[in-house]
Amino acid sequence: MAKISKSEEAAKEALNKKLAKEEEPAPLDVKSAEAELEQDELARFKQQKKAEEEDGIVPVVLTTVGKKAPVPAFVSPENFDWESFDKKGFGEGYNAQERDKLTKLYSGTVATVANAEVVKGVVVGINERDVILNIGFKSDGLVPLAEFKDQPALKIGDEVDLFIEERENAMGQLVLSRRKAKLVKGWEYVQKALDKDEVIEGFVKRRTKGGLIVDVFGIEAFLPGSQIDVKPIRDFDIYVNKNIEVKVVKINYTNDNVVVSHKVLIEKDIEQQKAAILTNLEKGQVLEGVIKNMTNFGVFIDLGGVDGLLHITDISWGRTNHPEELLKLDQTIKVVVLDFDEDKKRISLGMKQLTPHPWAGLAEDIKVGSKVKGKIANVADYGAFLEIMPGVEGLIHVSEMSWSQHLRNPQDFIKVGDEIEAMVLTIDRNERKMSLGIKQLTEDPWTRQDIISKYGTGSVHTGLVRNLTNFGLFLELEEGIDGLVHVSDLSWTRKVKHPSEFTKVGEKLEVKVLELDAANRRLALSHKHLEENPWDTFENIFTVGSVHRCTITGKNDKGAVLELPYGLEGFCSSKNLVREDNTKPEVGEASEYKVLEFSKEDRKILLSLKATWSTEEEKPAAPKKKAAAPKGKTIEKINQESEKSTLGDLEALTALKEKMSAQASKPEEPKAE
């Protein structure tokens, strides 16, 4: 059980006494009752004070700095003013002057702060983990020592910026952050630098895709590669871990992105340099520059703030496929100003113009007919260029590569890089032009001594079909020797309308020489003359009136083309292309046809299907007689009519005779019975 203190026992005893008195009947007296209540309260207070002293309880004594409270005079409980005591509040024991003095002392010792605010703090202590900081608030704050890595010489008494995260957390502590304070202040400084166009210094932390990451006021800003310098930068690593001066050009608060530029700092100086260079620039001036960029068509030279183009054709007198064959990036070279456009600020430069032209050093013994050696520098559709020496080239036209009359692709003969020998055909030192030939190094086949004996009339050869035309084909018998085979000399039996119906380009064909004209380089050839003329034999086979089995190979409005034995072709007109049942055969059908006409001179055979079953067409066509005069139509008609009458009379007489014989035999029969 809990021990009951003496003060509690005294209070309990006083309360019991009071209850005992209230039970005794007494006359009602208000004043005496109030007096008794005050005495009871005073007695209870004294007993409680005495009990606290006996129990060892130390009373709390409130003191004021620099002032002692006056000791009040003893007032008996009977004379104590309870109403005035209840009306007094805390601190009302001071007058106005004393209260103002205390207020000033109190307000100077404690600062007023708010959350998410950046304030100044003083380092009052440093241990292994934290830094203790005083911001003038009622309590100090702790910040991890790791947030002061950028201040290795931090000491007690240093002043730093701090961000108030919480005035008082659940543990009653003040929560501060130096890292957030740096960010808040950093964004303020960055915005100020952008507004006032100030130059700030940053630290390049690392490289990234397309540029560098620069630390400015604790914020990571992006420095694009194009904004590092006025000339392209190929190696960004040379700027890493170095300080660099920049200007803020863009801020994006949504993405917390800051873009800075180092290029804008030097552009003003470059513009001044450029203006000075352009003012003194003139054609023929020799300048020194650095190669800043290289392309397929040339290089760009930095002349000290101004760029000029050195075209690939002005790098060397020789042929250059790409500038990198002779030049390198960042190389310092001397160039001469060829042209300058002041309006467009374009400068054309040259490098080969600083050296003499190679044609000036060309040997005098090189003339028409002399032989030269060189390397093929370029091959075009019309020919090839032979480089005799750097800057001196000659053109070998495709027609001068071979004695053949058929122009071909130059790449069929030579390729780039081939070292060959050629003959000078023409040379113009003033115009710096030279034409060369390769075929001249070999003998012209048409001027050989054996050309007449080898390709004499009647000789047989095999050649390659090179070209087809409407009138025939060209056959190459050997390199430079071509002949013509006329379309009519391809076949005895077939009517060839175009050589493509008979052969193709690239095929070999055997021919016979009909005529040779070496002076004019002409050779007439024939393929059909390899055999005897078969029409002499066909004249005895396909006689007029003879019947042969033929196949229709084609039809038109006039008739049908027939294929005869031995590969011959014949023709049947539409009126004669009729069967006995009045139907007409179609292409591909074979039938018996009768020869109506045969012409050896014209190589023509006319046939008829109708004549095989109709007696009207049995009469063969009479051969044309040029000496005899033709008969008139009237005489011809009369002869035909008289001929028909005679035949009709004979038929009528024969029928009448047969009828009379039959009637004569009938009356004799009854008599016999």
| DSSP per-residue codes, 223-266 | EEGGGT-SS--S-GGGGTTSEEEEEEEEEETTTTEEEEESHHHH
Percent pLDDT > 90 in the chain is: 6
Question: What pLDDT was estimated at residue 55?
Answer: 52
**What's the CA gap between 567 and 531, in Å, rounded?**
14
- pLDDT above 70: residue 651: no
Tokens of 50: 């005495």
CATH architecture assignment, domain 445-530: Beta Barrel (2.40)
Question: CA angle, corner 144, sides to 143 and 146, nearest 5?
Answer: 135
481-486 and 522-526: which strand pairing? Answer: parallel
| Least-confidence region, from 76-80, 137-141, 252-256, 642-646 | 642-646
Tell me which residue has tokens 């352009």: 278
Q: Which H or E run includes 201? A: strand 199-208
Mean pLDDT confidence for 319-331: 86
Is 109 exposed, middle or buried (CB count within 10 Å of its CB: 0-12, 13-18, 19+)? exposed
Q: What does pLDDT average to over the chain? A: 76
Residue 140 CA from chain centroid, whole number: 64
Indicate the residue type of 85: F
- pLDDT above 80: residue 343: no
Question: What pLDDT was estimated at residue 204?
Answer: 92
Reported confidence tier of residue 668, pLDDT bands at 50, 70, 90: very low
Q: Which H or E run includes 138? A: none
DSSP 294-315: E-SSEEEEE-SS-EEEEEGGGT
Compute CA distances 418 → 119, 317, 325, 408, 438, whole Å. Answer: 82, 20, 19, 18, 13
**What's the CA gap between 326 and 310, in Å, rounded?**
13
Digit-coded pLDDT (tens) for 487-511: 888 887 777 888 888 888 888 888 8
**What's the CA gap between 76 and 38, in Å, rounded?**
10
Question: What pLDDT was estimated at residue 36?
Answer: 60
Tokens of 374: 């060189």
Indicate the residue type of 454: K
Tell me which residue has tokens 């087809």: 468
**What's the CA gap between 56 and 271, in Å, rounded?**
92
- pLDDT above 50: residue 319: yes
Task: From 275, 276, 267, 307, select the one nearest 290 (Cα to Cα).
Answer: 307
Mean pLDDT confidence for 298-320: 85
- Cβ within 8 Å of residue 635, ≥6 positions away: none
Question: What pLDDT was estimated at residue 213?
Answer: 92
| Least-confidence region, from 86-90, 186-190, 422-426 | 86-90
Question: What pLDDT was estimated at residue 642?
Answer: 38
First-last CA distance in the chain: 189
HSE of 70 in the Cβ direction (CA atoms, 13 Å)?
Answer: 5
Tell me which residue has tokens 């509040």: 89
Task: From 172, 177, 103, select the one nearest 139 (Cα to Cα).
Answer: 172
**What's the CA gap between 336 and 285, in Å, rounded?**
6
Mean pLDDT confidence for 71-76: 56
Task: From 569, 450, 551, select the one nearest 501 (Cα to Cα).
Answer: 569
What is the fold of 358-441? Answer: OB fold (Dihydrolipoamide Acetyltransferase, E2P) (2.40.50)
CB 403 within 8 A of CB 444: yes
* CATH entry 3.90.1310.10 includes domain 118-182: no
CB 555 within 8 A of CB 587: yes
DSSP 335-385: EEEEEEETTTTEEEEESGGGS--GGGG--TT--TT-EEEEEEEEE-SSEEE
Mean pLDDT confidence for 585-595: 90
Where is pLDDT greater, at 306 or 551?
551
Reported confidence tier of residue 16, pLDDT bands at 50, 70, 90: low
**What's the CA gap between 575 and 664, in Å, rounded?**
49
* Class in CATH terms, 197-266: mainly beta
Digit-coded pLDDT (tens) for 268-278: 777 777 777 77
Question: What pLDDT was estimated at residue 32?
Answer: 53
CB 444 within 8 A of CB 480: yes
Task: From 596, 587, 536, 598, select the one nearest 562 (Cα to Cα).
Answer: 587
- pLDDT above 50: residue 69: no
Percent pLDDT > 70 in the chain is: 75
- pLDDT above 60: residue 10: no
Is 253 exposed, middle or buried (CB count within 10 Å of its CB: 0-12, 13-18, 19+)? exposed
**What's the CA gap between 32 and 518, in Å, rounded?**
174
**What's the CA gap between 485 and 472, in Å, rounded?**
6
- pLDDT above 50: residue 30: no
Mean pLDDT confidence for 44-67: 50
| Least-confidence region, from 401-415, 473-487, 652-666 | 652-666
Question: What pLDDT was estimated at residue 129?
Answer: 87
SS3 541: helix
SS3 287: strand
- pLDDT above 60: residue 667: no
Digit-coded pLDDT (tens) for 234-291: 788 888 999 998 989 898 888 888 999 988 887 777 777 777 777 778 888 888 888 8
Pick the CATH number of 535-617 from 2.40.50.140, 2.60.40.2470, 3.40.50.11440, 3.40.50.300: 2.40.50.140
Mean pLDDT confidence for 444-457: 79
Question: What pLDDT was estimated at residue 259?
Answer: 92
Mean pLDDT confidence for 544-571: 88
HSE of 621 in the Cβ direction (CA atoms, 13 Å)?
Answer: 16
Digit-coded pLDDT (tens) for 171-217: 777 888 888 888 888 888 888 888 888 888 999 999 888 899 999 88
Angle between helical axes of 6-23 and 30-55 (0-180°, round to 10):
160
Question: What pLDDT was estimated at residue 633?
Answer: 39
Question: What pLDDT was estimated at residue 212?
Answer: 92
CB 148 within 8 A of CB 218: no
Residue ranges, comma separated, of all CATH 2.40.50.140 domains in the chain are: 118-182, 197-266, 281-354, 358-441, 445-530, 535-617
Where is pLDDT greater, at 108 or 513?
513
Mean pLDDT confidence for 336-345: 81
Question: What pLDDT was estimated at residue 364?
Answer: 82
* CATH entry 2.40.50.140 includes domain 281-354: yes
